[in-house]
Structure 1
């Protein structure tokens, strides 16, 4: 492997558990502030059987044995290795040209606020390194949690490098399974935190009532009318009132949580879907206005960027803010998270801190991840 190689692969499977995003990234130099470029992106969907298991564990379901977790850890790693090989084949790049892979893994449990805080991502980096022949950095979040942080969000530093402007206060909104914000003031510290549910609840309700894995274009939500009483009930969730730093996942926001809010009152499924879109929009807007009220531009990435109904509701809640895709600024909204784990892998190999303590709440900067040599 060439020591001067500046190509990295980033692998990401998020809370929505819809598939693996793989990004081939080129860094202009080894300088931590050097620009990076997405050379190729590839998505590999999860099969129905494994996705069902991922969703079960992700929203707090128990396993029947340790063997279940051990097998799933390796199965996920093989899928991540497959995604890497498919990406490199499509890009026409040999594995020897890639310095390292940064693999997020698949979160199956995230408990940063318990007596014994932990976060757990599956996808054994040893297997990925063995299958691909590429040094693999994995398990990025747990060192930050060990240092008293939430282990999330981890990408605000990359957002700042790619999208910050000295001319206006900006924020980056990632609409994945969970929504999170990165605050990019004109000057001063970068901050970031989760704001609440996004695609995780929308997808779950849509699948339950229509059989479709997600609400394509927001059509299901657009067919209904938001229920203001239900919205008010859902917004009473105490988690929304917690100050940053904070993070969450399917363990907090899942169908059982929604059913508790619904109570015994029967509502039309489309109305509930519309209300869930309103919940995402309201919780994002409330969080942004409370933490950076002078924001003039909100740059959106993640799967939710393809939901025009959801974006319209966010714009309605933020009438003085320009809401637009990161694509307007030359950053692919579908692969920015995967790019982020390529960036984190580079920071780890360079011995540099990958977290921002002001974002995660950790006691200080830490070198993140475990390195699995090729």
Structure 2
């Protein structure tokens, strides 16, 4: 990249469906200019989490509802931070994943949030969306897509970058080698339990306080962990398989104390995957956390205990806010797409080739 300043606006709404994060990212300087998360109300969050059960008319309506919301929120964001439209080289919108089925008979994925509304509001600025489909068409799983961004930031260094959203996924930078994969549940298990226990009034265990109030059933967690450990990376997962259905099946008489066990189970799955698929072959001793899970103090504490030889920190240590990273990544991937450059990492998705990701709208 030349020395010319290139800045992209990235939008991300993760599998937890807790809000829309926007990040104005300076690609040339590799740093965040500004970012903000705009939470969804509980009604919209539950609507999104149940989107997989919707009939086509309802899903189509939600697609446009989110598209309008993204455009309105992006406009609010640029005004709030005094961002001039002429300084935005490209906009990248990941959209909201409502289904991800790379292992289905016909591999598929679906992200909604109609991007045409962004293009209408930001006329003259290219908008890139629908990032995952090109990788699936190339034989990949369509996720994770952040490793190429991690390579841009950490190429040549040794580090693990663990994103804990609804699903946990990891990127490994081991010198010139880079790879990554979805691990399993991130916040999804404890989020689902809290949602069930509160009858939809609460959607997550803030700071891991409920989990910290009880001792986990370690034996049960170890038994359930066997369900997840075994699949050889690259792996890409659908959130719904790791949320309410799982909790209802394995905790039919759910109690508050079970949130502690689910928290420990999540940390155990992550730790065992890191040991089996990373530490057994690469000497990487630093783990950076990002995503909403970084604020779950109990989860972070469990990870520290289960990974004693690994130094755990936050991406904030390297100047990238843990909640901004994924939004920044899709701004960067949008810039790659605009320039016809591959944005996927076959070592992370299993694709036959690196693909240019996303569809571009120019008005």
How do 1:141-156 and structure 2 match up within 5 A?
Answer: 141-156=132-147
The question of 1:318 aligning with 2:307 is answered yes
Distance 2:37 2:254 in 1: 36
Contact kept, 8 Å, 1:163 with 1:329, in 2: the verdict is no
Equivalent position SS for 2:240: coil
- Aligned equivalent of 2:14: 14
Once the 2 structures are TM-superposed, how far is the Cα of residue 74 of structure 1 from its aligned partner?
Answer: 0.9
Question: What whole-Å deviation, never above 9, does each CA across 1:114-158 have from its counterpart, x for those lacking one?
Answer: 110001000112222112323210000011011110111101121
Contact kept, 8 Å, 2:165 with 2:291, in 1: the verdict is yes
- Aligned equivalent of 1:198: 186
- Aligned equivalent of 1:300: 289
Worse-superposed segment, 92-101 or 343-352: 92-101
How do 1:115-130 and structure 2 match up within 5 A?
Answer: 115-130=105-120
Structure 1 segments (4+ residues) deviating >4 Å:
none
Distance 1:5 1:76 in 2: 31
- Aligned equivalent of 2:211: 221
Worse-superposed segment, 113-122 or 94-103: 94-103
Distance 1:86 1:232 in 2: 46
How do 1:1-374 and structure 2 match up within 5 A?
Answer: 6-28=6-28, 35-57=29-51, 61-64=52-55, 66-133=56-123, 134-164=125-155, 166=157, 169-185=158-174, 187-210=175-198, 211-237=201-227, 239-263=228-252, 266=253, 268-270=255-257, 272-293=258-279, 294-374=283-363
Distance 2:112 2:34 in 1: 25
- Aligned equivalent of 1:32: none
Equivalent position SS for 1:219: helix
Equivalent position SS for 1:240: coil
Q: Number of residues paired by the alignment?
A: 354
Distance 1:10 1:252 in 2: 27
Q: Normalized against structure 2, the TM-score is what?
A: 0.93
Distance 2:209 2:218 in 1: 20
Once the 2 structures are TM-superposed, how far is the Cα of residue 311 of structure 1 from its aligned partner?
Answer: 0.3
Structure 1 unaligned residues grouped into runs of 5+ = 29-34
Distance 1:51 1:262 in 2: 23
Once the 2 structures are TM-superposed, how far is the Cα of residue 5 of structure 1 from its aligned partner?
Answer: 6.7
Distance 1:165 1:212 in 2: 42
